[in-house]
Amino acid sequence: MARWGKTKVKIVYHIGDGEDIEMLLPQDSYNAWRTLPFKNNGDVMAHAVETYLNMMKELGAKPSLGLTAQCVFQGLSVEQFRQAAASGGNVLGLEDRSENLVLFLSMVAYKDPKLKKLVNAKMTTWVDTIKTFSVENGADNEYLFLNYADLSQNPLGSYGEKNLAFIEEVAVKYDPNEAFQRTVPGGFKLSNARTTACLKVDGR
């Protein structure tokens, strides 16, 4: 049994090479990702796992059927935030946080493209349920990790108005013709960063 903050974490197995990696990131698959942050709270983590198991049953998630799912927790410590602040901070808006956070990653991989609508619906319901539970337990946090986020989420908006304005200022300076905003397909765009409710004020 390992400890991080006040939450106990049971180590189930070690991720190595070969079959382990293939299980977590199946080749030739479609992937649906979602991310969610919350304060280091064991009840929220337990709720995430419980609802994850329920979703797996609903989807019939089995590697033999070409459908697998993940529920992963990563720690973000106050010490990391302090070091970020001491080195001048960054645009993520985390340097003023005073509590340890848990970065939650959910992923479903599937082979059949016909499952896209079903998988996205189940994923959205799952993550929304965890979000609601974290709010009810005072463990909610607005930050969204861009690398794990789905296009239905708004990680850039979660950085805070001050940081978002700085990114826009840099974009105007180095990309005045908006080549990256207009000609590069996909990804998260600054032009959409203020379109969802996850936008916070001044990094708080």
Q: What is 68-103 written as a DSSP string?
A: EEEEEEEEE-HHHHHHHHHTT--TT--TT--S-EEE
> Are 108 and 196 members of one domain?
no
pLDDT tens digits for range 3-48: 334 434 344 444 444 445 455 666 788 999 999 999 999 999 999 9
Mean pLDDT lowest for which of 1-15, 20-34, 95-109, 189-203? 1-15
Q: How far is CA 91 from CA 6, 21, 146, in A?
A: 28, 31, 12
Six-digit token pair at 28?
């030739």
How many domains does the chain fold into?
A: 2
**Domain interval for residue 13:** 2-153
Average pLDDT, integer, range 84-90: 85
For residue 33, report the phi and psi dihedrals to the nearest 5 degrees.
-120, 150
Average pLDDT, integer, range 169-188: 90
> Are 140 and 175 members of one domain?
no
What b-and-e string marks burial along 135-167, b requiring 16 or more CB atoms within 10 Å of the CB? eeeebbbbbbbeebbbeebbbbbbbbbebbeee
pLDDT tens digits for range 134-160: 999 999 999 999 999 998 999 999 999
- What was the pLDDT predicted at 23? 54
- Prediction pTM value: 0.79
Average pLDDT, integer, range 107-117: 90
> Are 37 and 116 members of one domain?
yes
Residue 93: CATH number of its domain: 3.30.70
Q: In the listed set 153, 173, 194, which residue is the last one of a domain according to the structure?
A: 153
Average pLDDT, integer, range 95-123: 91
> Are 69 and 146 members of one domain?
yes
> Are 159 and 180 members of one domain?
yes
Model confidence at 184, pLDDT cuts 50, 70, 90, reads confident
- How would you class 202 by CB atoms within 10 Å of its CB: exposed for 0-12, middle for 13-18, buried for 19 or more? exposed
Cα atoms in the Cβ-side hemisphere of radius 13 Å centred on 203 = 17
> Are 133 and 163 members of one domain?
no
> Are 86 and 164 members of one domain?
no
Q: How far apart are CA 91 and CA 164, in angstroms?
A: 8
Q: How far apart are CA 16 and CA 27, in angstroms?
A: 16
